[in-house]
Amino acid sequence: MTTEMRASAREMRHMVGRYLHARSCPGHAVNAIRDAIMAAQAEGVDAVSEMERVRNHYDGARTSFDVSRDGDTVVLDGRGTPAILLAPALIDELSLAVIAGAKCVRVVSTPGIGIAAALGEYAAVRGVAFEIEQSAGGADAGGDTAILTPTHTPRTPVRPAESAAGPAMRRILLEGYVMDADQFWRLFHESNEALTPDSELSRRHAGSQLYDEDGNLLGEVSEETYLHLRRDENDPERAVLA
């Protein structure tokens, strides 16, 4: 029997972000991909399971499409990259396509592109609306090709709680996500791999402030405190491993 739990938006944000880091997702893209996953999950798609399913694709993954033009159509080629990693880039490209006067956007070689159907509110608060159609290969889960028709949508005032993904996210902030408990805790423990390893030093500081064993503040921690971050004096770009 499956046990369900309710996870707050804050808990999910931390877990998803850390999980992406632990799986070596390109660091510059983690926050954007995390927000897209949370938005899709809020709109009723099991984006967290998709995140876990493509776990072996994060390290060295592309975070942008190859873009070309075919008449009035913009072609976005994901080169086999799972759609969930390219979700933020997709919304950006849809906006650019509208500006460029494109009639439609064809997405190819992007497995799982059907998840785009759950990004309507995520796109709307960024000024983009779109319709998605099935194409060769299908836009459903597992399909890698779809045709999207984008339009600009007026940015309407939103409450601060909705600014990340619209009304669905506001509901999540109030009610939380209903999750399979086993899945949540499995991903939670895996995501902790992204945290600093436990050590005597790590237990004595919070952020940049270092404390002694009695909890007295000793001062601010400098970069030199962490040997693994120290630089080779002969090569400033190279770190000296402790």
Establish if 195 belongs to a structural domain: no
Same domain, 183 and 211: no
Q: How many alpha carbons fall within 13 Å on the CB side of residue 60?
A: 2
Establish if 206 belongs to a structural domain: yes
Establish if 207 belongs to a structural domain: yes
CA-only gyration radius of the chain, Å: 21
Establish if 233 belongs to a structural domain: yes
Same domain, 9 and 102: yes
Same domain, 206 and 166: no
Domain containing 206: what range? Answer: 202-239
Same domain, 217 and 140: no
Across 53-57, 84-88, 212-216, 238-242, least confident range: 238-242
Could you say which DSSP state residue 209 is in?
E
Establish if 16 belongs to a structural domain: yes
Round to whole Å and give the CA distance between 26 and 28: 6
Across the chain, mean pLDDT equals 81
Write down the pTM of the prediction: 0.77
Same domain, 168 and 216: no
pLDDT tens, 151-192?
Answer: 987 655 555 545 555 889 889 989 999 999 999 999 999 998
Same domain, 186 and 206: no
Packed helices 167-175 and 9-22: angle between N→C axes, nearest 10 degrees: 100
Establish if 196 belongs to a structural domain: no
Same domain, 206 and 100: no
pLDDT of amino acid 137: 44
Domain count, the chain: 2
| Residue 196 pLDDT class (50, 70, 90 cuts) | low
Which residues are paired to 129 by β-bridges? Answer: 151
Establish if 136 belongs to a structural domain: yes
Establish if 23 belongs to a structural domain: yes
Closest to 84 (Cα-Cα) out of 39, 37, 35: 37
117 with 97: CB under 8 angstroms?
no
Rounded mean pLDDT, 70-95: 95
pLDDT tens, 129-152?
Answer: 999 986 444 444 558 999 999 998
Same domain, 174 and 125: yes
